[in-house]
Amino acid sequence: MRTQVGIIGSGPAGLLLSQLLHLQGIESVVVERQSREYVLGRIRAGVIEQGAVALLREAQVHERMDREGQIHEGIGIAFGGRRHRIDFRALTGSSVMVYGQTEITRDLFKARDAMGGTIIHDAEDVTLHDVATEAPHLTYRKGDDVHRVDCDFIAGCDGFHGVSRRTIPAHVLRTYEKVYPFGWLGVLSRTPPVSPEVTYNHHERGFALCSMRSESLSRYYVQCSLDDDVGQWPDDRFWDELRRRLPEDAARTLVTGPSIEKSIAPLRSFVAEPMRHGRLFLAGDAAHIVPPTGAKGLNLAASDVYYLSHALVAWYGSGDTKLMDAYSDHCLRRVWKAERFSWWMTTLLHRFPENGPFGERIQLAELDYLVNSKAAMTALAENYTGLPY
Ligand code: RFL
Ligand code: PHB
């Protein structure tokens, strides 16, 4: 098989790239290791920045998002038993969209299917070849048959555990990493959210996040130990722990119910540089990971895809390599700022036992400063709603 751009991974990065390229007359083939059911079963991000919303509109997959997504003009930060509001609209004139990554992925699959896009699922042993030449190709196995896709470029959109980044020789790739000593236990439940806005809770027992997908679907997380396993967290224990970490009025009004999904995610900061090697371009989690505290992972995947789609459109349009040559630098400037913000939010809000009582007092002082300083709140609002592309 031959195509113009071979895309590895059908997460939001791969599907969005494929869709944007198609609308510009550039053909691609998406090769995915998992089944479609598996990809659509993953519950992940929920907060979409303005820039990503605009890109989803450009990709013509905005109809349901505009109908069902919620525009949020602020978030809550709770500590010391009180909730404080950061008013994005008043501070920056901006807002975010609350709409699940699962729904974005579903919308993108639907659009790709409607436009005749090729997405190959259950592709095993995906391997990249000759990426440093002008004729790269990839191979994959389905059952006993090995297939080959020849292309002009390969986009590695296969997430943190994918194969693309590992194809770049070790002497070319620099990696930067920070692993946090805790995880997030997440629960999705068909209950009305405790607050109409996403609320980040600092508590001496550990961090808790109250989020939502709709007026009747809640998403909650509690900081947990890396040794924990979901089996140790029956629903009752989860709700009790969450309640203990919320301000009293929220704890009192929290509506509980059976969990629909429950999972534990470790927290990590990671960046790989450069994001391009020859004709291979990394995008999204394949190149960088942020802890979810800043809600930046999916949004960074979208900004990478923005830069990559523009670079490919310029190359196919006029042979211009300027944007392609600048791809890694353009992405990384934005990536590192989101890395900083996500690290800062994580450091501010979680319990780090090794920091001791002094560290906890410093956190509380910073939180108190944050919610009483217009400058500090504006900086948070600017970063949370999304820095410009
Ligand atoms: P994905 O979504 O991981 O997709 C990669 C795809 O590649 C496939 N794949 C392969 N295919 C072929 N061959 C191989 N060898 C392959 N290896 C892997 C995988 O099956 C998969 O389908 O990466 P992408 O597209 O870069 O998208 C990134 C986002 O998914 C991620 O950054 C966000 O989910 C992070 N994130 C959040 N981001 C936000 O912007 N806002 C949030 O509120 C937010 N909350 C979260 C999050 C991530 C979380 N977890 C579980 C990691 C909350 C959580 C709990
Ligand atoms: C979510 O709704 O899943 C969510 C919201 C905000 C975050 C992380 C996850 O920072």
CATH fold of 5-71+98-177+268-345: FAD/NAD(P)-binding domain (3.50.50)
Determine which one of 99, 140, 180, 200 is catalytic.
Answer: 200
Task: Output the six-digit token pair for 356.
Answer: 């001791």
Q: What does the chain come to in residues?
A: 389
Task: Report the run of H or E that residue 120 belongs to, with start and end.
Answer: strand 118-120
Is 99 strand, coil or helix?
coil
State if pTM tops 0.85: yes
Output the pLDDT for position 45.
85
Catalytically annotated residue among 62, 137, 292, 330: 292
pLDDT in tens, 2-56: 999 999 999 999 999 999 999 999 999 999 999 999 999 988 889 999 999 999 9
How far apart are the C-alpha atoms of 383 and 373, rounded to whole Å? 16
Q: CB of 7 within 8 A of CB of 155? A: yes
Q: Which two tokens stand for residue 22?
A: 């198609």
Q: What is the spatial distance between Cα 62 and Cα 71, in angstroms, rounded to a whole number? A: 13
In sequence order, the 6+-apart residues with CB closer than 8 A to the CB of 324 are 276, 311, 312, 314, 315
Short-list 376, 215, 180, 381, CA closest to 292? 180
Distance of CA 259 to the CA centre of its chain: 22
Catalytic site includes residue 200 = yes
What type of residue is 132? A
What is the predicted pLDDT for the residue at 309? Answer: 98
Helix axes 50-58, 297-318, angle to 10 degrees: 40
The per-residue DSSP string of 14-25 comes to: HHHHHHHHHHTT
140 is catalytic: no
Query: Which is it for strands 199-201 and 74-79: parallel, antiparallel or unpaired?
Result: parallel
Residue-level pLDDT at 178: 97
Query: 181-267+351-385 has which CATH code?
Result: 3.30.9.10
User: Which atom from ligand 2 is nearest to the alpha carbon of 345?
Assistant: 10
Phi-psi region of 176 (alpha: psi -120 to 50; beta: other; left: phi over 0): beta
- pLDDT at position 247: 98
Q: What is the 3-state secondary structure (H, E, C) of 282-313?
A: ECHHHCEECCHHHCCHHHHHHHHHHHHHHHHH
Nearest alpha carbon, ligand 1 atom 32: 297
> In whole angstroms, what is the distance from residue 78 CA to residue 381 CA?
16
Residue 353 among the catalytic residues:
no
CA–CA separation, 365 and 370 (whole Å): 9
Question: Within a 13 Å sphere around the CA of 361, how many CA atoms are in the beta-carbon half?
Answer: 3
Distance, in Å, from the CA atom of 228 to the CA atom of 208, rounded to the nearest integer, reads: 16
Q: Is 384 a catalytic residue?
A: yes
pLDDT value, residue 141? 98
Distance CA 381, CA 389 (A): 16
Residue type for position 37: E
Residue 357 Cα, ligand 1 centroid: separation in angstroms? 35
Name the catalytic one among 137, 296, 330, 350: 296
Cα–ligand 2 centroid distance for 211 (angstroms): 6
pLDDT score, position 333: 97
Which amino acid appears at position 98 of this protein?
Answer: V
Cβ–Cβ under 8 Å, residues 346 and 200: no
- The domain limits of the chain are 5-71+98-177+268-345, 181-267+351-385
pLDDT at 379: 98
What is the DSSP secondary structure assignment for residue 160, as one 8-state letter? Answer: T
CA 44 to chain centre: 7
Q: Give distance in angstroms: CA of 210 to centre of ligand 1.
A: 21
The predicted structure's pLDDT at residue 235: 98
Q: Is the CB of 112 under 6 A from ligand 2?
A: no
Question: Which residues does the chain have with pLDDT short of 50?
Answer: none
